[in-house]
Amino acid sequence: MSAGATIDVEAARFEQPPHDVGALEAAAELLGLVEVGEFVDADAGAPRMRHYRWEGVRLPADTRHLLQVFAGTREGSTDVAAVEIAVPAPAVPAPRGRVFVLCAGVDRYPQGREGALFQIPDLSYSVADARSVYERLIGADDGPLAIGHGKLLADPQVTRSGWKDATRQLADACQAAGVGPDDLLVIFMAGHGLINGGREREYLFLCHDLQGGAVSLDDAGQPVVRPDDGIAWRDFADLERIPCRKLVLVDSCHSGGLGRESRGDAVREFQENMIVVVAAAADDQSSLESPAWGHGAFTKSLLEALGGAADGGTGDPADGVVSLHEVINYTLENVPRLAAGVQNRGAGAVIRRQNPTVSPKALVPYVRMPLSKAAPAAR
C-alpha cells in the first residue's frame, strides 16, 4: 500500500445497555463510505457488540495518516479510537489537488450602534483581510493546488441568508467536481465575533446587518444576539458531507469558541473533528488589528506564512512549497509576538495578549498537503 491508496477499516463497539447505536452509524454516513454490520448477541447479561466495516477508504497522497473512529450515544458519552498509518511515497506523483475557497469580511455594522445595552463599532481591515486571503489562495494558478471554486463576500453580502447561500453554492461546486482527499476546502472569516450569552454560550460571527437594538443581556451581563444576526457552527452544515479536507480560518475576537474540542454531543463532536479550525484568539481574548499592518495580527501572520515565511519552519527542509501544517504552526507562533508589540495607550500601558487556537490539535502533524508556493524573497 502506498500514499493515495485505499484501505478497509473494521471497528466494534460494546454497548450496555444498547439504547442507541445511531451515533456511529450517523457519523459513518457522513463519510459516505460505510457498510454497517449487525448486532452479534453475546452471552446473557453481557454487553452486546456491533461490528462496522468501511470499505475502500481513500487516503490522501501523504505518507502519514491518523485514522480515527468515533462512537457515542444520544446521552452524549463518546469514545475515540485512533491508529497512525505510515505508507511509502507513491512511485508516480499524485494528481494535483484543488482548492475551493469562501472568504467573508465585515468592516461596517450600520445598525450595530443602535443598541442602548450593547454596541458594535466598525472595523478597519476585515474586508481587506478577506480580500487578501482570497487573492492569495485563488490568484496563483501555478500553485501546488489548482483552483476549483472561489467566492468573496464583503460587508452587505455577509448576512446569515447570504452565508447560507454561499456555503450551499460551495458545497454544490465541490460535489459537482467530485472532490477527494487531496482537495482542500477553505473558509476564511474576518469581522466581529463573540460568545453569545444565554444557555448555549456558542460562538457567533456577527453579520453586517446585526440589529444592535435587538441585543439583550443575560443574567451574567453577557450580550445575547439574535440567531439571525450571526453565523454559528450550525451554519456550516452544508459542508459536513464534503469528502475532502476542510480548513476554517477565523479572524475575530473570541473565535476560539468556534473550534472547541470538548463538546457534549458525540455526533456533533465527530462532525467538528472533520474540520480543522484555526482561530485568531482564545474564546476570552480580543483579536487585534493595526494600521501599521493594514490587517489583523492573525491575517498578517497568515499572509506571511502563505507567502513563504513558513517554509521549513517546522524542522522540515525549505523546499519552496508551503504546506498546510507549516502555515498553521507559523501563525500560532507569530501572532502572540505581534500582539505583544501592541500596547494600550496611557500611563497604565500593558502588553496585549492574543493566542490563536487550533482544533483538533491532533490532526495538525498530518495535514501536510502543499498549499502555496514560497515567494523567492521569502526563501
* % of the chain surpassing 70 pLDDT: 75
Task: Please identify, among 86, 118, 138, the residue that sits at the C-terminal boundary of a domain.
Answer: 86
Count of the separate structural domains present in the chain: 2
Q: In this predicted structure, what is the pLDDT of residue 213?
A: 77
| Residues 224 and 354 occupy one common structural domain | yes
- Sheet arrangement for strand 203-206: 193-195, 203-206, 230-231
Of residues 34 and 199, more confidence is placed in 199
What average pLDDT does the structure give for the chain? 80
pLDDT digits (tens, 9 = 90+) for 232-256: 988 888 887 788 889 999 999 999 9
For residues 272-284, average pLDDT: 83
Q: Residue 210 belongs to what domain range?
A: 98-378
In a domain, 312, yes or no: yes
Q: In this predicted structure, what is the pLDDT of residue 81?
A: 76
Neighbours of 7 (CB within 10 A): 15
| Residues 212 and 81 occupy one common structural domain | no
State which amino acid sits at residue 158: V
Task: Please identify, among 57, 86, 115, the residue that sits at the C-terminal boundary of a domain.
Answer: 86
Confidence of residue 44 (pLDDT cuts 50, 70, 90): low
* pLDDT(357) > 90: yes
* pLDDT(191) > 80: yes
In this structure, what DSSP letter does residue 49 have? E
| Residues 202 and 243 occupy one common structural domain | yes
For residues 305-321, average pLDDT: 88
| Residues 115 and 79 occupy one common structural domain | no
Q: In this predicted structure, what is the pLDDT of residue 365?
A: 85
DSSP β-bridge partners for residue 11: 52
Q: In this predicted structure, what is the pLDDT of residue 34?
A: 42
Of residues 331 and 365, more confidence is placed in 331
| Residues 10 and 120 occupy one common structural domain | no
| Residues 166 and 238 occupy one common structural domain | yes
Q: In this predicted structure, what is the pLDDT of residue 143?
A: 83
| Residues 208 and 296 occupy one common structural domain | yes
Q: In this predicted structure, what is the pLDDT of residue 346?
A: 44
Q: In this predicted structure, what is the pLDDT of residue 340?
A: 87
| Residues 70 and 151 occupy one common structural domain | no
| Residues 136 and 264 occupy one common structural domain | yes
* pLDDT(190) > 70: yes
In a domain, 91, yes or no: no
Confidence of residue 159 (pLDDT cuts 50, 70, 90): very high
| Residues 268 and 363 occupy one common structural domain | yes
In this structure, what DSSP letter does residue 228 have? G
Q: What are residue 104's phi and psi, to 5 degrees? A: -140, 135
Task: Please identify, among 66, 86, 106, the residue that sits at the C-terminal boundary of a domain.
Answer: 86
Question: Which CATH number is 174's domain given?
Answer: 3.40.50.1460
Confidence of residue 23 (pLDDT cuts 50, 70, 90): very low
Of residues 227 and 51, more confidence is placed in 227
In a domain, 321, yes or no: yes
**Strand stretches in the chain, DSSP E:** 6-15, 34-40, 48-58, 64-72, 78-86, 98-105, 146-154, 184-190, 193-195, 203-206, 216-217, 223-224, 230-231, 245-251, 276-279, 289-290, 295-296, 321-323, 357-359, 370-373
| Residues 140 and 232 occupy one common structural domain | yes
Q: What is the CA radius of gyration of the chain?
A: 22
| Residues 18 and 140 occupy one common structural domain | no
pLDDT digits (tens, 9 = 90+) for 85-139: 888 877 777 788 999 999 999 999 998 777 666 778 899 999 999 999 999 999 7
Q: In this predicted structure, what is the pLDDT of residue 59?
A: 78
In a domain, 205, yes or no: yes
For residues 332-361, average pLDDT: 77
